[in-house]
Amino acid sequence: MFSLVTGLFDEFYREPDEFKILILGMEGCGKTTIFEAIKIELNHRGNGAFGAVQPTAGLNLSRCRGDFGSNLVFWDVGGRRALIPMWKKYAKEADAVMFIIDCTNQDTQRHSRAIFEDLVTQDVLAGVPCMLIGNKCSDVNMATAVATDWIGPSPIQKVAPVSFLYLPPDHGQWGHLIRGMCRWLVTQCAMAKATNL
C-alpha cells in the first residue's frame, strides 16, 4: 500500500527540483494544524484563520511553492498508534522531517522521543535534515526546556542537521516563523542533495 502511494506520487505528482517534507508526531500533537498553517502562509489558502481540524486517518499532501527557489511537498501523516509503523517507511522517502512535539504532554513526549531516537539509531534519518517543533508551549521557557531535553543528549546531532522551532500560543506570530522554517528546510535539503550527488 505504501509503495503504491509513493509510486503514484513520484509518477504523477512529483516535479523536478522539489523536496518532500514529512511531518511526524504523536496523535493530537498538532501536525495537521501546522500543515494547514503552512498552506495558508505559503499558498495563501483560506482567509488566514485557523479552522477546526479532524484527526488524520491516513495522509494529507500539499505542494507549497513559496519563494524559496524550490517547492516543498508536505506529507502530513496520522499519528494514531496503528499508523506509527508506517513512519519508518515514509521517513526513508523523505528529504527532510518535521517532528512535532506536544510540549504539554509528558506521556506522549516520552513515547515520541523513543520513536524518534529509534529512527535515528536505525540510520533512517542519517543525513536527513530534522526540524523539531515545540507545539502547544505556554511560553518560551517551556520550549527551551523541551529543546534542551530533546537535542542535548540526542544522537541526531551526529547524523543529521537539526534545528528546533518554538511555535508560540499566539497563531498570529506563526507566519514569519513558518517562512523561516521553510527557508531552513530548503537550504538544508539543497545542501544534502549537493553532498549526495
Ligand X SMILES: Nc1nc2c(ncn2[C@@H]2O[C@H](COP(=O)(O)OP(=O)(O)OP(=O)(O)O)[C@@H](O)[C@H]2O)c(=O)[nH]1
User: Does residue 30 touch ligand X according to CB under 6 A?
Assistant: yes
Q: How far is the CB of 32 from Mg ion (least distance, A)?
A: 3
**Beta strand 130-135 pairing with 162-166:** parallel
Residues of this chain, 53-112, that bind ligand X according to CB under 6 A: 53, 55-56, 78-80
Minimum CB–partner distance for residue 78 and Mg ion (Å): 6
Nearer to ligand X, 61 or 191 (CB): 61
The secondary structure of residue 70, as a DSSP letter, is S
Query: Burial level of 74, CB count in 10 A (0-12/13-18/19+)?
Result: buried
> Exposed (0-12), middle (13-18) or buried (19+): which is 87, by Cβ within 10 Å?
buried
Please report the beta strands in the chain, taking only residues with DSSP state E, as ranges in sequence order.
18-24, 59-64, 71-77, 96-102, 130-135, 162-166
Alpha-carbon distances, residue 54 vs 21, 46, 57, 155 (angstroms) = 21, 17, 9, 33
Q: Is residue 39 within the footprint of ligand X (CB under 6 A)? A: no
Alpha carbons 89 and 91: distance in angstroms, whole number = 5
Contact between 134 and ligand X per CB under 6 A: no
- Residues 52-81 within binding reach of Mg ion (CB under 5 A): 56
Identity of the residue, 122 or 138, whose beta carbon is nearer to ligand X in the bound complex: 138
Q: Which of 32, 70, 112, 188 binds Mg ion (CB under 5 A)?
A: 32
29 binds, among ligand X, Mg ion, none (CB under 5 to 8 A by kind): ligand X
Total site size for Mg ion, rule CB under 5 A: 3
- Retrieve residue 104's grid coordinates: 504539554
Least distance in Å: CB of 27 to Mg ion?
A: 8
Contacting residues toward Mg ion, per CB under 5 A = 31-32, 56
Contacting residues toward ligand X, per CB under 6 A = 25, 27-33, 53, 55-56, 78-80, 135-136
